Structure 1
Amino acid sequence: MLEKLDFLEEKYKDLNGKISDPDIINNINEWQKYVKEHAEIEPIVMKYREYKEATEQIEESKEMLNEKLEDDFKEMVKEELNELQKHQEELQEEIKFLLIPKDPNDEKNVIVEIRAGAGGDEAGIFAGDLFRMYSRYAERQGFKVDIMSTSSQGVGGFKEIVFMIKGKGAYSRLKYESGVHRVQRVPETESGGRIHTSTSTVAVLPEVDDVEVEINMNDVRVDVYRSSGNGGQSVNTTDSAVRLTHVPTGIVVAMQDEKSQLKNKDKAFKVLKARLYEKQVSEQNKEIAEARKSQVGTGDRSERIRTYNYPQGRITDHRINMTVYKLDNFLDGDIEEMVDALITTDQAEKLKTIEK
C-alpha cells in the first residue's frame, strides 16, 4: 500500500506542474483532464502526508524515550506516543477507504427496468410491488421518478415497467438491486391457501452521456407506429410510438407512453444508450479474474438476489445472508438498512484487494 501511495504522491507533484503549465492551460480539454485527475487524488495525498508526519513524530517520541528523562516527562512522552499511534492507525484506515476505486457512475441518475418473470399474473403483481417500493424509496431520498415505458397486465401490475430515478447518487444507492427478486406468498385467487413462488427481474442502468456511448445512426433502425393501450386521444390516431432496433447487437427498445413521437424517441435513445453501456461494461467485467471481483458487485440480472417471504414477514438478501423482518415497511420503501449493508459488504471486499 505504501508503494502505491508514494506513486500517487509523485503523480500529484507532476500534475501540480501540468495544471500550472501555460501551454497546457491553453489546451482547455487537456487542462480539464489534468485538473480532474489532480482533484481525485488530492484527498489521498493529503491524508498520506498527514500519515507520514505522524510516523515521523512517533519515531521522534521513541528516540526520546531512549534518552535519560525525568519520570514525569517520560510519562508525558509515553502518553503522547500512544495518542500518535492511535492517530496513525485511524489515518491508515481512512487511507484504505480513500483508495477504494470510485465507480464513475455513482453520482448518476438511473434507469430501472422491472419485468415480470416466472409465476404468471402473480409475477406481474409483484413487479408492481417492486415499482412502488423503489418509487417510495426515491421519494424518501428526495429523488424524482419519471416513468418512461409501461406494459400493464389485466389483473393489475406490469409485464414490464421502465422508469428513471433522478437524483445525485441514485446509482450508488440502487446499483445493487439488479438481479432476480423472488416472492413467496398466497395469491388472492388461491382458495386452498397454498404458497406460490413468483419472480421479477430488476435491471439498474446508469444514465449515460453521448461521450460514453457513441451510437452510429446507420446501425439503428427507427420504426414508428400507432400506440396502443392507455394514452388518451392520440391512441390509434397518430404514429407516436417509436421502436429502435440496434442492428449490431439486436437490442430493441420501444416507447409509446408519450403523445409526442419526439419525446418517445428521446426516451428510447436514453434506454438504448444505457443498455449498450451495460453490455459494454458487462463484457469488460468478464475479462476480470474471478478472484478480483467483489462478492456483491452490481448484480447480474440472471442471479437470484433476494426473497420476499410474506407468511414469515421477512426479506432475505442471499448475497450477504442478511434477513430483516419488516416486510410491510420494506415494500413501502424503507430499504435503507439493506442498501447500507450491501454497500458496506462491497467496500469490505474491495478493501481486501487493497490490503493484499
Structure 2
Amino acid sequence: MQELALHQGKVRLYAELEQRLEETATLWQLATEEDDLSLESEIEREIKALQQRFEALKLEILLSGPCDRNNAILTLHAGAGGTEAQDWVQMLYRLYVRWGERHGYKVETLDFLSGDEAGIKSVTLSFSGENAYGYAKSEKGVHRLVRISPFDASARRHTSFASVDVIPEVSEDNEITIDPEDLRVDTFRSGGAGGQHVNKTDSAIRITHLPSGIVVQCQSERSQTQNKASAMRVLQARLLELKRREQEVEISEIRGEQQEIAWGSQIRSYVFHPYSLVKDHRTNEETGNVSAVMDGEIDAFIAAYLQKTKIVK
C-alpha cells in the first residue's frame, strides 16, 4: 500500500507540473500577442523552475530498488599514499557534506579518524531523507585524484585514491535481530573533530559483531548512549548489506556468473593538473568545472549512472 501511495503521489505531481507548464505557455502566448514584455522575467523564472522539477522527477522515477528510499550510510577510506590520500578523503568528505545539504538531507558525521599530519584517514557519514540511498549508491567505488601535491616541496604531480562505500540504513520493517551475546562493546576516548569535549571522557563506542567479525564505531556524540545507538544503526546496515551480498553470491553461483567486485573498481577520476576534468569511467559523463564538483554538484554523474543501470536492467 505504501508503494502504491508513493507511485500515485508521483503521478499527481507530474500532472500538476504539466498543468503549470500549460498555464505558463498560455501566459507566454498572450503576452506575445499583446507585445507585453512586463511578464517576460516572471515567465522565464517559472520555466526554469519547471525544468528543474521535471528533471528531478525523471531522476526519482529511475529509483526502483528495494532500499532506494532509505537513508544512506557512506564511508570514506584513504588509499595508499599517506598524507596526500588522507587530504583527498577530506576533500571528498566536504564534497559529500555539501551534496547532502544541497538536497536538504540531514547530514551526520558518525565516525571520524584524523590523518597523521593532515586530512582524514576514514570517516562515516549518514544522510537522512527521502531517496538518500537511491542517489548516494552511485558513488560507491574508488575515486582517483591527479594534482600537484601541496605537500610536495618539488611540486610534483601525484595520484591519490580513496574508496567510497555506501549502504542503506535499515528501515524498521527490515531490522535484523541481533543477539546481545554476539556483541563485544568497547569504550575509548574520542579523537578527531569534536571541540573541547574530545579526550576528556571515554564516550566513544566500538562494537564488534563476533559471528561476522564486523566492527563499527561512533564517537561523534557526547554520551556513550548516543554513540552506541548510532553504532548500532551502522551495524544493522552492514549486517543487512552482508546478507544481501551473500544472496547475490548464491544467485551468481546458480547462474554461473562472474561478479565484478564493485568496491574495488575505479569509478571516477578528478584531474586538477595538467588540465581540469572530472570523468566517470562507467558512463563517460564528464565536466571541466572541477570546482563545482568539489562543491557538491555531482547530480549529473548520479543521473547518468542511474540512467545507464536502468537501461542495463
Output the TM-score relative to the length of structure 2.
Answer: 0.74
Answering whether residue 91 of structure 2 is matched by residue 129 of structure 1, we say: yes
CA 1:118–1:168 in structure 2 vs 1: closer, same or farther (change >3 Å)?
Answer: same
**Residue equivalent to 1:182:** 144
Answering whether residue 302 of structure 2 is matched by residue 343 of structure 1, we say: no
What are the equivalent positions in structure 2 for 1:218-297 lying under 5 Å apart? 218-229=181-192, 231-232=194-195, 234-289=197-252
Matched letter for residue 339 of structure 1: I
Answering whether residue 309 of structure 2 is matched by residue 331 of structure 1, we say: no
Residue of structure 2 aligned with 1:163, choices 121, 125, 132 = 125
Deviation at 1:288, TM superposition (A): 3.4
What are the equivalent positions in structure 2 for 1:1-356 lying under 5 Å apart? 35=1, 39=4, 102-212=64-174, 213-229=176-192, 231-232=194-195, 234-289=197-252, 300-311=262-273, 312-350=275-313
Output the TM-score relative to the length of structure 1.
Answer: 0.66
Could you tell me whether the CA contact under 8 Å between 2:111 and 2:219 is conserved in 1?
A: yes
CA 1:234–1:128 in structure 2 vs 1: closer, same or farther (change >3 Å)?
Answer: closer
Deviation at 1:120, TM superposition (A): 0.9
| 2-structure distance, mates of 1:165, 1:210 | 17
SS of match in other structure, 2:171: coil
| 1-structure distance, mates of 2:199, 2:248 | 44
Deviation at 1:269, TM superposition (A): 0.5
Number of positions where the alignment pairs a residue of Structure 1 with one of Structure 2 = 259
Deviation at 1:149, TM superposition (A): 1.1
Aligned CA-pair RMSD: 2.9
- Unaligned 5+ segments in structure 1 are 1-34, 44-97, 351-356
| 2-structure distance, mates of 1:41, 1:226 | 44
| 2-structure distance, mates of 1:329, 1:42 | 33
Q: Deviations over 1:81-111 (max 9, x none)?
A: xxxxxxxxxxxxxxxxx9x993111111111
| 2-structure distance, mates of 1:198, 1:181 | 8
CA 1:111–1:42 in structure 2 vs 1: closer, same or farther (change >3 Å)?
Answer: closer
SS of match in other structure, 2:153: coil
- Larger Cα-atom Rg: 1
| 1-structure distance, mates of 2:7, 2:165 | 34
**Residue equivalent to 2:51:** none
Q: Deviations over 1:280-299 (max 9, x none)?
A: 11122223349899x9x9x8
Deviation at 1:167, TM superposition (A): 1.2
**Residue equivalent to 2:17:** none
CA 1:232–1:217 in structure 2 vs 1: closer, same or farther (change >3 Å)?
Answer: same
- Unaligned 5+ segments in structure 2 are 9-60
| 1-structure distance, mates of 2:84, 2:242 | 30
SS of match in other structure, 2:312: helix
CA 1:333–1:233 in structure 2 vs 1: closer, same or farther (change >3 Å)?
Answer: closer
Q: Deviations over 1:190-238 (max 9, x none)?
A: 2333211111111111110354222121111112233345545554443
Matched letter for residue 114 of structure 2: S
| 2-structure distance, mates of 1:225, 1:41 | 43
Q: Deviations over 1:144-174 (max 9, x none)?
A: 2111111112443211111111111111111
| 1-structure distance, mates of 2:136, 2:279 | 17
| 1-structure distance, mates of 2:199, 2:170 | 32
| 1-structure distance, mates of 2:194, 2:215 | 21
| 2-structure distance, mates of 1:237, 1:167 | 33
**Residue equivalent to 1:65:** none
Q: Deviations over 1:16-47 (max 9, x none)?
A: xxxxxxxxxxxxxxxxxxx458x38998xxxx
| 1-structure distance, mates of 2:7, 2:111 | 42
